[in-house]
């Protein structure tokens, strides 16, 4: 980064320290207000299920593991079906459609384990916990109807904890990002203000230089006039051909 640019920014910050404090402060306050009073908090609840692997063939261990992983992916797709959503809605007497319930449901699997994780998000933390637990229970009870097997076990159910923090929004994170954004915005505003101030000063400087140059030019012109030789007054010249008035005598002679 150019050293002159850094010095320019530091000088501008020193002269306009009010903007330096005000802009980041307003950004942090705005982010805090949105996080606490405008945005609706969203909570999540998570349950964990274990799929018991089928008998592994030691002679063909790789194919056995691969078939179990494919089975887990099939289970994940079954959890997100309309039939499962309707069963949960009926048991909990929810006033929402299966599509709305599935939209907030998330199912995760792993390629290196036999664990299925079910997560549900909602604005009500208690309702999120109830739905997540009921999805796991309903699937473990109905898997025998789907696959004619009973190899799913619920490991962990979601539980309510006092002081649950929402997954969205995160006020502290939002305010931290707003502070960094405020610093960047502050630098941009300072550069813009300094650029406008420099543009306004240029015509004034030119005007002042012209006004200072005019007296100098007048003084130089006066010095030139004083240095030139002065001529005395010109003598009055008489016309070469100037006739004298005629005189008439008594003898009627005209004398010039």
Where residue 256 falls among pLDDT bands split at 50, 70, 90? very low
pTM, rounded to two decimals: 0.66
- The strand order across the sheet containing 43-51 reads 105-109, 115-122, 43-51, 152-156
The reported pLDDT for the residue numbered 236 is 55
Query: Which of 16-20, 31-35, 110-114, 208-212 ranks highest by mean pLDDT?
Result: 31-35
Task: Write down the pLDDT at residue 255.
Answer: 47
Q: What residues form DSSP beta bridges with 109?
A: 116
Q: How far is CA 207 from the centre of its chain?
A: 41
Chain centroid to Cα 33, Å, comes to 17
Average pLDDT, the chain: 80
- Paired residues of 255 in beta bridges: 247
Of 106-110, 130-134, 150-154, 188-192, the range with the lowest mean pLDDT is 188-192
Residue 27 clears pLDDT 50, i.e. is over it = yes
Q: Taking CA 230 as the corner, what is the angle to CA 216 and CA 220, rounded to the nearest 5 degrees?
A: 5
Residue 101 is predicted with a pLDDT of: 96
Structure-token pair, residue 181 = 């954004």
Q: Is the pLDDT of residue 133 over 50?
A: yes
pLDDT tens digits, 178-188: 999 998 998 88
The 3-state DSSP composition of the chain as helix, strand, coil percent (nearest 5) reads: 60, 15, 30
pLDDT tens digits for 233-247? 555 555 545 445 555
Q: What is the pLDDT of residue 188?
A: 85
Per residue in 51-101, pLDDT (tens digit) is 988 766 666 666 777 888 888 999 999 999 999 999 999 999 999 999 999
Sequence spans of domains, the chain = 1-39+169-193, 43-156
For 150, phi then psi, to 5°, come to: -135, 75
CA distance 44 to 170: 13
Percent of the chain beyond pLDDT 90?
Answer: 45
pLDDT value at residue 37: 93
**H or E segment at 255?**
strand 254-255
CB-CB contact of 76 with 109 (8 Å): yes
For 43-156, give the CATH class: alpha beta
Q: What is the DSSP letter of 108?
A: E
Torsional sign, CA 65, 67, 69, 71: negative
Gap between the Cα atoms of 21 and 40, Å rounded? 29
Q: 71-97 burial, b if ≥16 CB within 10 A, otherwise e?
A: bbeebbebbeeeebbebbbeeeebeee
């Amino acid at each position: 980064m150019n050293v002159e640019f850094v010095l320019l920014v530091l000088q501008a910050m020193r002269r306009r320290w009010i903007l330096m404090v005000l802009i980041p402060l307003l950004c942090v306050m705005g982010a805090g207000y949105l996080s606490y009073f405008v945005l609706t908090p969203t909570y999540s609840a998570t349950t964990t299920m274990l799929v018991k692997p089928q008998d592994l063939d030691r002679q063909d261990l790789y194919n056995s593991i691969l078939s179990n992983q494919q089975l887990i992916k099939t289970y994940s797709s079954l959890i997100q079906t309309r039939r499962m959503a309707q069963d949960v809605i009926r048991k909990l007497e929810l006033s929402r459609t299966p599509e709305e319930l599935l939209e907030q449901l998330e199912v995760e699997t792993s390629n290196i384990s036999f664990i299925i994780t079910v997560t549900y998000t909602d604005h009500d933390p208690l309702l999120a916990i109830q739905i997540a637990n009921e999805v796991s229970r309903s699937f473990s009870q109905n898997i025998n109807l789907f696959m004619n097997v009973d190899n799913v076990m619920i490991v962990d159910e979601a539980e309510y904890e006092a002081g649950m923090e929402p997954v969205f929004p995160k006020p502290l994170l939002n305010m931290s990002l707003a502070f960094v954004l405020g610093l960047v915005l502050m630098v941009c505003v300072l550069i813009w203000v300094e650029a406008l101030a420099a543009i306004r000063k240029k015509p004034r400087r030119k005007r002042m230089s012209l006004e200072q140059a005019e007296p100098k030019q007048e003084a130089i012109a006066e010095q030139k006039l004083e240095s030139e030789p002065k001529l005395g007054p010109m003598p009055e010249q008489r016309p070469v051909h100037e006739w004298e008035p005629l005189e008439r005598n008594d003898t009627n002679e005209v004398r010039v």
